Every structure is written in C-alpha cells, then in structure tokens.
Structure 1
Amino acid sequence: MRHSKLPANLADGEFRRWMITMFAVVVCQQPALANPETWDADDLIAGQKGVGYCVLQGTQLDSFEVEILGVQHDVIQPGRDLILARLSGANLEETGLFHGMSGSPVFVEGMLVGAVAHGWTFSMEPICGITPIREMLDLLEQDLSGPNEYPMAATPPVGTLHRIEPLPLPVWVSGAGRGVEAFLADVLEPMGMIPVTGLGASASTTNPPGDLKPGSSVGVQMVRGDMSVSAIGTVTWIEGDRVLAFGHPYLNVGAVDMPMTRTVVHGVLPSQYSSFVLGSTGETIGALRQDRSVGVAGLLGEEAWMLPVAVTVDGPSGTRTLKTEVLDHSLLSSSLAQIVVFSALESAERLLGLASLDVQLLVTLSDGREVIWNQVFSGLHAPLFAARGVGGPIASLVWSGLQDVRLERVDVHIDVRDDVRVARIASVRHEPQQPRAGRPLTLQIELAPVQAPRQQLDIDVILPASARGLPVQIQLGSGSAAVSWGAQRQDELPPRTSDELLRRLERPRRDDELVIEIVADAPGLSVGGQSMPSLPASVGRWLQQTPSVGHVGRVSGRVLHTQRMRVPYVLENEQVIDLGSLDR
C-alpha cells in the first residue's frame, strides 16, 4: 500500500501526526467500519489539513493531501453544504481532478469529512467541492430493497465556464468499436458521464467483496455480456454490507436496482480537457439501491436483475449474435438496447456503405405476452436508423407507466443485404379523369428507385358510395407515413391499458409497404384510439356523453378506404391527389 508523506504542518505536535497516520493505515486495512467519527461541515476551519484516498493503479489505495479552504452553504441546492478544498500529491498537480475519483473519502484529524465530488470546469488547480459525510450517511437510512418503479431522472445542468458541477463519471466500454463512441456520447454525456471506448473488459480478481474499502474504485454496470458498459467512481464509506459512493448522483432517480462491480485501475490518463482513470471491470459484488443528490448507496452480496437483449445479424458474411444484459431502467433501457444493436451491426462490419436492413423486434413481457415490431431501412445510414428505430417501441413500453407492462427480454433479428432499395413516388395519375362515388378508379403510380429504371404500378381502387357529395383526397405513402396521418387526424390520448398499448405498437408501419387511403373531408369520432368514421350523429352524441366507453375524440378526416401492398423499395415520400367533391 502506498501513502503520500503527510506535511509537517498537519498537526501541532508529533503525537497528533502519529494519530492521523495510524488512522489512515486502519482505513486502508479494514473492510468495513461502523459508526464513523465525522466532522460537521460548520466546525471545519480554513487551513486544516487532511488526507484523501483513491486508486491510481490496480486495487490498492493511494493517498493525497487535502487543505480545507472553507464551506459554502446552499450552493448546490437549498439546505446543501459544500466543503471547498485544495488537493495535492498523487500526481494531482499534473492530472488535476480526474474522472473516476468521485466519492474519494477525505479525513481530517482522523475523522471522516466527506467525499470529493465536485469541480470547476477549466480550473488551473485541483480545487474540489466535498459533499459532507453527514449528508451522505442519511442515504443508509433509506430503503435499500430496490424500486417498485422508476421515476424520471433529473437532468444535470449543462456545464459552462467556471461553473461548479459534479465530476463526470468515466464509462468504460469494451466489446464495442469506435463507431459506438459517438452513439454512447449522445446518450451518456447529458447525464454527466463520459464514455471511454477500448477499455472495460472483465478483469479477474481474487479479492472477496469484503476487501472493498473507503477509497476503492467501484463500478456500476449498465451493459454486460458480449459487451460491457460500466460507470466508474469511488467508495466513500462502508458499514457492514452497506456502501456509500460517488458523493453526487449517478442519475438522481431515487430507488434503483443496478449491479455494483469491482474494478481494476490501469492508470490515470492526464488531459488538458479532463483526466480520467483507465481500467477494467471485475466481478459483481452487490447492487446499487439508492441514487440521490448526495451520492449513491448499495448492498454488498445482492443481485440486481438485468434485461436480456440479444441481437442476431444475418448477412452475406454469415450470422453473428450478440448476447447481453442491460439495466432494467425506464431512463436507460431503450438507449442501451440501441447501443447493443449498433454494436452488433458494427461487429458485423455493417456500419458503412449502402445497405438494406430488415429488422424484427420481439419484446417478451413478464406475463408472457409478446410485442412484434417490424421495419425496413435502406441507404447509406441505414444501420444508424435501424438502431435508433428499435429504441422507439422499447421506450414506449418502459415509459408507459402501466403496472402490468414489465419487460422480460428483448430479441432483435436483422437481415442485411448489400444493396440499396429506396424509391420516391415520382407521380400519380388516375383514370377516369372524372371519378364518381361508388365506381372503380385506376391509380397509375410511377416509382423512381435509386440506381434503377423507373417503374409504373397500376392499382385499382373503389371509391366508396358513402363519398358522394364529399370533398375527397387520396393519400399515398409508406407504412410510417400512414401512422403519422392517423396521429394527425385524431386527438389520440396515451393508451389507458396495456392491451391498447400493444395494439398501437403492432400497427403495420413498414416503409416498404405502399399505403393508399381514401379520405373524406368530414368530421368523425375515435373511441379508445379506434377511428369510427361512419357513426350516426345520434350515436356519436351518446358516446361523448358516456364516460364508460373510454376516450372519445374528434377526427378531422374520415378514412373511407385503406389499401396496402408490399413493394420492393423503401418509400421516401408521400403524394396527395385532390379529387374534389365527388358527383352524387
């Protein structure tokens, strides 16, 4: 174990310095300390010296020197104190505050002060904000049994010049290529986390969970399996099997259930912008159960449930399957599933070049019900759109707020072809030129594919007799376009039941499907999200006055007829034909 030599002015006498040194040795050697002696922030005096702990390499603790500068009140939020301190030693003069030291415990005169947790952007010195330990200890009085459901996360403030903010958590990533880094950054940076790719592969350690100490590095695993994504911080205190860490929120969502892992630090990478620790995650040692503004708390020896996500990619070069588990969390599950899909496509070398992807998403719920979602993507950025597209249905499920919607597993199957299948609807004509209600109409549709000759489709439709005397339009577009038309026509409220939600998610929406809708410019009603265009006026009035039938909304256009057909292209645009008022 390495310890920096304490400065000569640490105490007034040799005995006081000896006491502090002995306490530092005890902290490093004891796996758990109950009822720590602590400082009240208001009792600290500027100029007091102390010692802090973190891991710079491996799993052994390193010490750094601390000088108390003062205490600020209500600077983070009302009722919250922040202890200001200058750090030195442990190469901090070169690295400055580094990402990964969040939670590093600080002791003054042998008593615990708090956790290194905040810093100033572009600061020239390693000056930090310490979260008082007495505020953090309140976390151990919270319920550590795990959440019933997840609330929405608080959005961290956007960093500006010389603004104090929580030290970002480095996120170690392994099993993913460089193409995933930008995707990860979009998801994690708004939450105060910085992805570091090319790291994070599992490291074998022989230490039992009880060897965790204040100052040890600790991880929170977001993805595990064939790829790994873990946020890294530092343990502040341990009482029995209860652990405090970080000194600032992870996501600030209250009760959580997230895997807590051991980590091995390979070193600290100095950077003018932001230094951070490099390393690998080890075995799971417990579960994070509380995530609050003053830090996080967890239990050693507990297991956190994670959502299985498997992605299979079939392509010209063969079949590859990526098997992972991601956090079961309303804020992150959909984004992490997107990252897994993106990584699977990257591993199959399908991120660049023209390609067409046929995607099937199968979500299994805990009660055995299934949601099947299909879509097709084509073009230069098809893999990116496919990964993002998969996240939509998953987000709708985890954010539904419905008690009987709990995800059991997610399976994604992607067929890849080395071609582009994209077309525009170049023009639409109709015969006869003077259409009549109740009579057939032939649509002559010209498709303009990319890198292929134009093609014409002749499709016969019947103009309904109910359209007599009404202004009529014919809309043509893809399956996604048709879903958008429906949403624009009616004031659709969020689904009230899980069955209604599942029906909406399974609506046909493939973009290689040509949808033709004959729409009359006439008011109608929707009941429970279902359009009812031909209701008698008396029935409509009754429905609007009867709460038990569900939500009754107005529809701005009445769909008289819908026709679908599969085409060999992803349709990029829409067309509208205005037929005017049809003859009676």
Structure 2
Amino acid sequence: MKVLSLILLAASSLLPALRLTAQPPPISAPTLPVSEIQPGMQGEWKTVVSGSQIETFRFEVLGTARNFTGPQRDIIIARALDESQIVSGPVAGMSGSPCFIDGKLVGAYAYGYSWPKEQTIIGITPIADMLETFEKEAQRQPDKARQAGYPGYHGEASHWQPRSGQEQMSGIPLDSVLKPLPSPLMVSGISADTLAAFSEEFARRGVEPMRAPIGTTSDLSATDIQTGSPVAGVLMTGDFQFAGVGTVTWREGDQVLAFGHPFFATGDDNMPMAPAEIITVIQSMPGSFKLSNVGPVVGTIYQDRLTAIAGAVGAPPPMTEVSIHVHGPGTAERTFSSQLYQSRQWSPLITALALLESLNNTMEASAEQTFYVHVKMDVAGFGPLEFDHVATGPSGAVGTAFRLMRDYDLLLNNPFGMAEVKSIAVDIKIADEWVRSSLYSIQILSGELHPGDNLELAVTLNNYLEERTRHRFNIPIPPGTAGEKLTVFVGDASAADKLDRSGVLNTADSLAGIVNYLRTGRSNDRLYVKVLREARGLNVNGRRLGELPASVRALLDSERSPTPVTDNRTVTLWETSLQVPGVFDGEYTLPAHIR
C-alpha cells in the first residue's frame, strides 16, 4: 500500500507537466502535418464570399518558414492560384479559411502580403498549432484582475496592449511583411467624429476600427456555424454594433476553431459568438474586406490565442444591458438599447462611444446644447451605482463620456476582481442652449464669530450671459473651535473632490473599497460650501474619515492595521451644496477666525 501511495504521489506531481505537454484533442478530419508538406503540392481552401455559400479556391505550396510567429511556430507559405485572388489580394475576414491537401486538413489561411496583390502569397497556420488552443481551456484559471491595472498602486495605465490581428507594423514597408489578415473590428451606428475622439484608446489596444454598414439578421442560427463559414466575435449588438468577422477552420460537435491568428490576444475569454453572412467582398487597393451581417449570439469564444480562437456553440456568455434614453423640450424621445460584451479591455470604451454618439448625433443636435446626464450602473453585490453630470460647451459631451469610461474602467481593472456590471441605464435630457455658471465673488457678512454662532456668507454667481445671481448661506460654527482659524471653501465639484478624494483610492483593499470611492464623486451642476479645519484625518478602504479618537487612529496607523490607510491634512466640519443651472466652475477660500 505504501508503494502504491508513493507511485500515486509521484504521478500526481507530474500532472501539471503532463497537462502542458498533452496532445491536442483529436478531430474527426484527417490532417496533414507540416513535416509531410512539400513545395509543389496543391490544395484548396474554403470560404464564403457572398451570402452563406461556401466556395473553394486553389493554392500551391511554396515551402515552409520555421519559427514564424515564435519559437517552434512554423507557417506554410503558398500561392493563391485563382484569378479573383489576384484582383482582391488578401481579404480581411477570410482569416481562418480551412486549407486542405488531398482531403486532409492542413491549417488555416491566416496571413498575406497586402502589396503587391499580384504576388498572391498567403500564409497558412498549421492545424496542429491551432488545436493547442483547445488545451488552454482545460488550463483556464479563475478570472483575476491585473495589479498593474490599478493606477493607485503602480501608476500604470489600466489598459493593456495586446498583440492582435489588427496590429500595425509601423516603419516597415507593406510589401515586406507577411501580416495577419485582419479580422476587422467593424462598427455601425457610430460616427467618424465619435471614433476620432477615442482614437488614442483604439491605438493603445492596437486596433483600427472600420466604420461599415454591418447589419444584423435573425435568419441565421447555430447550425450556420460550420467549417468554412463566417463567424463573428460580438462586442456589442443592438442599436450600436461592434463585431469582428473571420472564418471557421473546423467545427467538431459544439467546438469551433477559427481565425488562425489572434483576434485581440486576450487569452481566456468569454466573448459572445455569432454566425454571420457575407454581403459582398469590397475590393480595395489598400486592403479588401468582407462586408457582413451578423446573426444572433449562439455561443462563446472562450480562448483568443496566438494561433487561433476557440469557442463553443451553446449558452451565450453574460452580457451587460445598455440603455440610453434621450429626451427634452423640442426633442423626439428615443431609447437606444444594446447588449455589451463583458470585457476589461473593451466594455468601458464601447459604452463611452455609445454615450458620446447619443449626445452628439441625434437628429436634434445643434451647435449650442446642454446635456443633463444621469447614469445608473447595476453592480452585482453592491446595488446601483449612480452619478449625475452636466455637459455643455464644445468639449462637454466628450468629457462626460470619458468620465463614464474612467469610472467603469476602475470597476473592471483593479487588484480585487472584475466587477459584474449587469446593466447600465443612461438618461439624457437635452436643453437647446449653453447653460453655465461661474463664481463671481464671495463675502462673509458676519462680524466676530464664536462657537455656536452662524456665519453668514454671500456668494455671487455669473452665468455665460453675464447675468448675476446672489445666494446666502448660514453656516453653523461648531462647538470646540474657539481660538481656531477655520477655512470656508466655496467651489465646484472638481475642487471639492480634490479636497476629499486625494489619496483615498490608494486605501481600497477590496472591490467594496473601489465602489465606496466611486460613490463619493460629486455632480458638476452644484456649488459646494465647506467648513474645513486643519487636523489629521485618515482615508480607509475608499472612504475619507474625519477626526478619530487617538486610540482608533493609533490602531489604523500601526502595522496591525487590517487595511491600508493614508493621511489627509484637513477635515470637513460642515458641508452643504446648491444646485445651479448647468455646469458650475470656480473655487475660492476665506479664513474664518473663531473667538
């Protein structure tokens, strides 16, 4: 028994290594390994160029290039023989087209030279390398947030930059690079101006979106996903469309292998998968591409790796419901509804794009408008997370969209786990004028002040039409402040947040701390009045605390503290706010000497 136990123990210690070196799962189709492929062999690849009809195109093998996409990652070099391929050259969306020699599956047409087209040189990813993608699913780990994605910890940008089939190789002549055929991120319902506002975000991800009249169709089903047919990775569907279309290399039961190169190189994934149909191939000198319609979501892309994407037909992954309601005097009331891929990398950006498009490009859009925006996010385990923001002036709408993107990004990219955002509801009220207020003057009207007195404060505001309004505040002087110099603060949301939120984010020690921090954001259509005291306060788990008893402060300061803390030099003794028309900006402080 002891010998058997030792054998079992030794075997169990080898399991991780055995898993990593296990053979790819078998498929029913006969395959041809790279070692048996010789120059001069001829074969065919299958793909769709119109509708759902799978067509066949011929190729001739020129040779094999070793270590092409990495060590021990070879590629088969071939020449396309059909006249139509000379005209179109490599076609975006053809990635993954299955290649056969003598009826045996060789791999996927996945690479090509963009120029000159008459070369018709293509690259084929070997099927053995693609099948390894299935192995990665067995090794999938629970979803973990990246520490580097949390700006309060390392100061790095929260977006990581994957290598993808879209990545551009700047500085290298196009005709010298055998590049992945793009599986272009096609976008419909979003204007060129809106995409341009987020161009740096797309560049950071190595993706250049393509505006195209990509449509939806309910005529397709899961049975339309088959070897040689188009397949789509769906980032958003509904009134706004974001999807990338490639070709299925092989389907075995419910398992699907496609593309022959990465889509976004995200590794473990839960991207919605859908069938697609091809409207036509757009032939272009810079690069030809397939124009597509996308069907309903019928499964999940669960791996996005170096040599392929892998998915399964069946239950779709969870998606976030996004609803944007637009209304206002003289505005036709309408609601835009979409379903969103849940992704650290893409969800915040795509939601911000949809919001900005809704703000700027309705039929009622005009040069001078103010948008009153209310956002409600349903975060699993935490209840609704809400904020209000007013956008006015030439850059107001862009600022609102970027704020939503930053807050959403923080929920998904942090060290404590990716929050599950079930739904996002945005309400937009439009006013056909610029509405903005600024601080003109403040004045303390009271005389000598003592604890328990009221400090009378007059605040004068100026709007963009140079019309002034005067507001009075009665501020109670707290007990226990005799002999102190307090500070009266009057300012906008940004200035008040700077006082109260500085250093707070760094103290979050859980996802709850991140949510706490986001809940403290103020609305920019309010004027804030605060009474401040110079005293040592502490920030704990995403919250700013006031003055604490010495014993509590000593515990939180000590090495035994259960949570990280940071100091703040002022504490708020009293605060109120006043809603003003439109956006308010300005900041001023006055000393208040207490007798």
- Normalising by structure 2, report the TM-score: 0.81
Out of 80, 98, 102, the residue aligned to residue 87 of structure 1 is: 80
More moved, 230-239 vs 190-199: 190-199
Change (3 A) 1:441 1:69: farther
**8 Å contact 1:83–1:132 — kept in the other structure?**
yes
Q: How far apart in 1 are the matches of 2:218 and 2:462?
A: 57
**8 Å contact 1:428–1:445 — kept in the other structure?**
yes
1:442-492 per-position Cα deviation (integer Å, ceiling 9, x unaligned): 44434332134233444443555666666655443222332233233x354
Out of 235, 252, 255, the residue aligned to residue 268 of structure 2 is: 255
Change (3 A) 1:131 1:472: farther
More moved, 300-309 vs 130-139: 300-309
User: 1:300 Cα shift?
Assistant: 2.4
What one-letter code is carried by the residue in structure 2 that aligns with 1:136? M
Q: Which residue of 2 aligns with 1:10?
A: none
Q: How far apart in 1 are the matches of 2:195 and 2:564?
A: 44
Q: Which residue of 1 aligns with 2:153?
A: none
Q: How far apart in 1 are the matches of 2:268 and 2:256?
A: 15
1:168-192 per-position Cα deviation (integer Å, ceiling 9, x unaligned): 2223344455555446766555545
Q: Which residue of 2 aligns with 1:373?
A: 387
Out of 46, 54, 57, the residue aligned to residue 50 of structure 2 is: 57
More moved, 320-329 vs 515-524: 515-524
Structure 1 residues 101-180: aligned runs within 5 Å:
101-119=94-112, 125-143=119-137, 148-149=142-143, 154-156=161-163, 158-162=168-172, 165-177=179-191, 179-180=193-194
Q: Which residue of 2 aligns with 1:6?
A: none
What one-letter code is carried by the residue in structure 2 that aligns with 1:411? A
Q: Which residue of 2 aligns with 1:9?
A: none
Out of 217, 231, 235, the residue aligned to residue 222 of structure 1 is: 235
More moved, 434-443 vs 479-488: 434-443
1:497-546 per-position Cα deviation (integer Å, ceiling 9, x unaligned): 44443332222511011113344444432333433443354542233226
Q: Is 2:51 the counterpart of 1:38?
A: no
Q: Which residue of 2 aligns with 1:312?
A: 325
More moved, 215-224 vs 361-370: 361-370
Q: Which residue of 2 aligns with 1:564?
A: 577
Q: Which residue of 2 aligns with 1:11?
A: none
Q: How far apart in 1 are the matches of 2:109 and 2:62?
A: 14
Q: How far apart in 2 are the matches of 1:520 and 1:435?
A: 15
More moved, 221-230 vs 541-550: 541-550
User: 1:58 Cα shift?
Assistant: 1.6
Out of 507, 510, 516, the residue aligned to residue 520 of structure 2 is: 507
Change (3 A) 1:397 1:480: same
User: 1:312 Cα shift?
Assistant: 1.0
What one-letter code is carried by the residue in structure 2 that aligns with 1:170? P
Q: Which residue of 1 aligns with 2:430?
A: 416
Q: Which residue of 1 aligns with 2:493?
A: 479
Query: Equivalent pairs: percent with the same residue?
Result: 25
**8 Å contact 1:69–1:86 — kept in the other structure?**
yes
Q: Is 2:112 the counterpart of 1:99?
A: no
Q: How far apart in 2 are the matches of 1:235 and 1:579?
A: 70
Task: List runs of 5+ in structure 1 lacking aligned partners.
Answer: 1-32
Structure 1 residues 351-370: aligned runs within 5 Å:
351-367=365-381, 369-370=383-384
Q: How far apart in 1 are the matches of 2:145 and 2:535?
A: 42
Q: How far apart in 1 are the matches of 2:490 and 2:559?
A: 36
Q: Which residue of 2 aligns with 1:294?
A: 307
Q: Is 2:591 the counterpart of 1:579?
A: yes
Q: Is 2:212 the counterpart of 1:202?
A: no
1:255-310 per-position Cα deviation (integer Å, ceiling 9, x unaligned): 32232222121222222322211121124443222211211111224433321111
The SS at the match of 1:535 is: coil
**8 Å contact 1:470–1:522 — kept in the other structure?**
no
1:369-409 per-position Cα deviation (integer Å, ceiling 9, x unaligned): 22222222222343333333333333333334656942222
User: Number of paired residues?
Assistant: 548
The SS at the match of 1:143 is: helix
Q: Which residue of 2 aligns with 1:4?
A: none
Q: How far apart in 2 are the matches of 1:70 and 1:473?
A: 78
Q: Which residue of 2 aligns with 1:68?
A: 61
**8 Å contact 1:37–1:112 — kept in the other structure?**
yes
**8 Å contact 1:493–1:529 — kept in the other structure?**
yes
Q: How far apart in 2 are the matches of 1:527 and 1:189?
A: 36
The SS at the match of 1:493 is: helix
**8 Å contact 1:104–1:115 — kept in the other structure?**
yes
Q: How far apart in 2 are the matches of 1:338 and 1:253?
A: 21
Q: How far apart in 2 are the matches of 1:492 and 1:212?
A: 46
Q: Which residue of 2 aligns with 1:20?
A: none
